[in-house]
Chain A
Amino acid sequence: MARYIIRRLFTMVITMLVVSIIIFAVVEIAPGNVARNILGAYATPEQEKSMENQLGLDRPVAIRYISWLFGSDWQAERKIGRPLKEIVIQQGTVERFRQWWAVDEDGSLVRWGIQDGQLYKYTRQPDGSTVGVPDEGAWKTDENGVQYFWGVDNANRAVLWVKGQGSVEYRYEYSGWRKFENAPVDYIPLTKGLLRGDAGISLRYRAPVSELIASRLKNSGILAALAFLVSMPMGLLLGLLAGLNEGKPADRIISLFGLVTAASPDFATGIFLIMIFSLWLKILPGATVFASSTAILDNPKMLILPVLTASLVEMGYILRITRASVVEVVQSNYVRTAILKGLTRTQVVLRHVLRNSLLAPITVIMLHVNWLIGGLVVVESVFGYPGLGNFILNAALYKDVYAIEAASMFLILLAVGTQLIADIIYSFLNPRVRYA
C-alpha cells in the first residue's frame, strides 16, 4: 500500500512539473510577449525595452522559469553578497505590502538608491521610516576599472548600478509613464518563487496574487459546496429511480433530462434559468452584486441561481453514472437471489441495490473535480460571481500573466490532489487496483 502511494505521489510530482513547464511556456514564450501584453500597442520601443529589463524578461527562459518556481532571491544574494529578507507590512487590516531588504552586517535592513550620481544607503528604522547616508565606499571595481554595485532598490528588485553609466528607466504608474535618469543597468525582480508561496504581484490589481486568490477561493468554495449539496442527493435519487425503472417512461424522461442538462453548455443553463426566474417570474436576481467580495453570504437570494446552475450541470452527470451503475447491479446474480429468496422490493433496493450501486458514482465524482472547476469558471462568469473562476477568466482576458500562472497551478494541483486521494481511497476499497 505504502509503495502504491509513493509511486502515485511520484507520478503526481512529475505531472505537476510538466504542467508547470506547459503553463510557463504557453503564457510567457507564446507570441505577443509579456511586456507587450502589459503595455499595449502604444508604448515606444525604449519604454518596452526598459520594462522588459525591469521585469527581468530579457533573461534566459530557463532562468526565468527557475525564478518563477524556486525564487530569484538566492540568485540575487550571490550578486549582492548579503542575505536578503522579505518583510510583510500590514497597513490597516487588509492591505498588505511585501518589501525586500538586504540584511547588513549589524543585522539592520538596508536598501540603496542613487541621488545626484551618488550611492546612498537607506537603513530601515523600527517605525518603518528610512534614514539615508552616502555609501560611496561600497562601489566595487571590475578588471576594466568600471565601478559597479549590486544592491536592492526601493521597488523590490536587485539592481546593478554602474557609476557614470546610468540608463534611462521608464516606470509605468497609475498616472502614466515616468522617466528616471541614472537608473540601474540590470534588474532581477525579487521573488520567493511559487513553490515557496510567492505567486508574484498581479499586473492588474498591483497586489500579491496569493492573497487575491485566497479571498476568491473562499467564495468559489462556498458555491461549489452548495452546488454539491444540492446536486449529489438529487442526482443519486433520480439516477436510482431511472435505473430501477429501466426502459419505462419514468426512466426515459429522467434519462433525457439528464442528457440534456449534462450536454448543455453551462452558460446556456444559466441563461435559461435567468430568463425563467429573473426576467419572466421576476422572483430572483439574475446577477450577483455584493457589497464586497467577502460578504457573499449576506444576501443568500443572490446565490440561488448560481448554485442552481452549477448543480443542474453536475446533477445530469451524477444521474447518468448512477443510472448506469444501478442498471448493472439490478441485473447481478445477488440481486436476483435476493428477489428469489422472497425479500420485498423495498428490502432489495435498500439492502442490495443502493449500497452496491452508490460506490461507483461517489468515486467517479471525486475524479470529476477537473470538470467542476471548468464549470465554475463559466457559472461565475454568467452571474458575475466574485470567485476564483471569474478571477482567472479576467486574468486571461487582461493577460495578467502572474495571476494566470499562479491560479492555474493552484487549480491543477487541487484537481490532481483530489484525484490522488480518490485513487487511494478507491484502492483501499478495491485491492485489485493496487497491484495493477
Chain B
Amino acid sequence: MAVDSTMIRITPAQLRWRRFKESVGLIFASPTAVLGLVIVLIWVFIAAFAPYLTHYTPYEQDYKNINKGPSAQHILGTDHLGRDVWARVAFGARTILLLAPISVGVAFLLGMVLGLPAGYFGGWVDELVMRILDSIMAFPTILLYMIIISAVGASPVNVVIAIAIGGAPGIARLIRALTLDIRTREYVAAARLRGDRPVQIMFREILPNCRGPLIVDLLLRIGYAAFYIGTLGFLGLGLPPPTPDWGGMVQEGHKFMTTNVWPVLSATVAIVTLVVGLNLFADGLREETMRYQ
C-alpha cells in the first residue's frame, strides 16, 4: 500500500529506546542537572561500595582513640566513642539513600490512592479527600514528623511512615490536578465506552499519562525526604543509635564540637552535598522539561 512505503514502522522496543534517549538528552541539556547527578552518583557509589572503601565497620569502637582528628588510620578522625568517622559517613550514605527513595515510594502509593479517585470521581469523594489533605498540609512538616515519631517511637520503619504521610498530600494534589485534566481526553472517553471499569481507567489510562510531571516531582521529593531524614536525626527523632545516620552524627557530635569538629563537619558536609545535589538534579530537570514543553 502507498501508505506503507511512506510510514516508518517503529517497533515498541525502538520506541522505548527513543524515549529513553530523549530523557537522557533532557538531563544532559542542563548543566545544573548534570552537576547534581554527578554529586548524587558519587554518594550512590560510596553507599554501594561502602565496605570496600572503609577499613572499619561503623560500629567498631577504638577506646584508645576517642575524638581524634584525621590521621593515617582514620582519614576523617574518630568520634566520641572512637568510631571511624569516614566509615560512619560512608555507611550513613546507605541509610539515607535507602530510606529517602523508599519513603517517597510509600508517599507516592498513598498519594496515588487518594489523588486518583479524588480527581476521577470528583463530587463528595473529592471534597472528603481534599479536606483530609488540607488538614495534613496545615501541619508544619517538622511538627507533623515530631508528633508521629514521638507517638510511635524512632525506628527506620517509623521514619519512613512519618515522611510518607508528610509527603503524600502534595503528591495526591498533583495527581488529582493531572487527573482532572486527563480525564477529559478522548482516550479516557474511549476506554469508558468500551466498558472499562473506573479502576482500570485510572491505572491504565490516567496514571501512565501523569508520568512526566510526576517523575520530576518525585525526584524533588527525594531531596526533601533526605532533608527531613537528616533533620529528624539531628532532632534526636531519627534512627536509634548506633545506626550510622548523618543527622544523628551531627546530634551526637554537637556536644563535642569544641574539642573535635570532624564528626559534625563530615556529616554536615555529607548531608548538604547530597541534598543540594538532589535538588540541583531535580531542579535542572524541571526547568529543562518546562522549556521542552
Contacts and interface: CB of A to CB of B under 8 A. Distances in A.
B is bound to A: yes
B105 interface: no
Contacts of B265: 275
B142 A264 contact: no
Interface stretch (A24-32, A54-62, A167-175): A24-32
A358 interface: no
A377 B280 CA distance: 26
A19 B250 contact: no
A411 interface: yes
DSSP class of A's interface residues: helix, strand, loop or mixed?
Answer: helix
B167 interface: no
A15 B268 contact: no
A263 B231 contact: no
A404 B150 contact: yes
Nearest to A32: B153
A204 interface: no
Given A263-B276, A370-B140, A397-B236, A27 B250 contact: no
A213 to B, nearest CB: 14
A279 B275 contact: no
Contact of A32 (B152, B236, B268): B152
B234 A267 contact: yes
Interface string A73-95: 00000000000000000000000
Contact of B280 (A11, A259, A274): A259
B141 A370 contact: yes
Interface residues of A, number: 48
Contact of B131 (A15, A271, A415): A15
Nearest to B145: A374
Interface in A102-158: none
Interface in B264-290: 264-265, 268, 271-272, 275-276, 279-280, 283
Contact of A31 (B131, B152, B237, B264): B152
A393 B235 contact: yes
Contact of A271 (B139, B140, B254, B275): B254
Contacts of B272: 260, 264-265, 268
A364 interface: no
Interface string B119-160: 000000000000110111011111100111111110000000
Interface string A395-419: 1110100001000100110011000
Contact of B140 (A23, A27, A373, A382): A373
Contacts of A412: 138-140, 143
B114 to A, nearest CB: 14
A415 B268 contact: no
A263 B131 contact: no
A393 B139 CA distance: 15
A14 interface: yes
B271 A377 contact: no
Interface of A: 11, 14-16, 18-19, 22-23, 26-27, 30-32, 259-260, 263-268, 271-272, 274-275, 279, 286, 370-371, 373-375, 377-378, 381-382, 392-393, 395-397, 399, 404, 408, 411-412, 415-416
B241 to A, nearest CB: 14
Contacts of B131: 11, 14-15, 18
DSSP class of B's interface residues: helix, strand, loop or mixed?
Answer: helix
Given A26-B147, A396-B146, A265 B138 contact: no
B91 interface: no
A211 B250 CA distance: 32
Interface in B142-187: 142-143, 146-153
B165 to A, nearest CB: 10
A-B pairs, top 8 by smallest CB distance, nearest first, are: A374-B142, A18-B135, A396-B150, A30-B151, A373-B140, A263-B279, A374-B140, A267-B234
Q: Contact size class for B?
A: 35 or more
B257 A286 contact: yes
Contact of A279 (B136, B250, B257): B257
A27 B147 contact: yes
A190 B134 CA distance: 32
Nearest to B279: A263
B140 to A, nearest CB: 4
B231 A378 contact: yes
A61 to B, nearest CB: 15
Nearest to B230: A265
Nearest to B251: A267
A15 B138 contact: yes
Nearest to A21: B135
30 contacts: A11-B131, A15-B131, A18-B134, A19-B135, A26-B151, A31-B153, A32-B152, A259-B276, A259-B279, A265-B271, A265-B275, A266-B231, A267-B231, A271-B250, A271-B268, A272-B268, A275-B264, A286-B257, A371-B141, A373-B143, A374-B143, A377-B143, A378-B142, A381-B234, A382-B254, A393-B146, A396-B149, A408-B139, A412-B139, A415-B140
Interface in B5-46: none
A339 B26 CA distance: 35
A259 B227 CA distance: 14
A30 B149 CA distance: 10
A271 B135 CA distance: 33
A416 B231 contact: no
A271 B272 CA distance: 11
A26 B153 CA distance: 12
B258 interface: yes
Contacts of A15: 131, 134-135, 138
B58 interface: no
B100 to A, nearest CB: 13
A170 to B, nearest CB: 25
B235 A377 contact: yes
B280 to A, nearest CB: 7
Given A14-B131, A267-B268, A275-B261, 17 more contacts: A19-B138, A19-B139, A23-B147, A26-B148, A27-B150, A32-B153, A265-B227, A268-B271, A271-B250, A370-B139, A374-B141, A374-B142, A392-B143, A393-B235, A411-B140, A412-B139, A416-B138
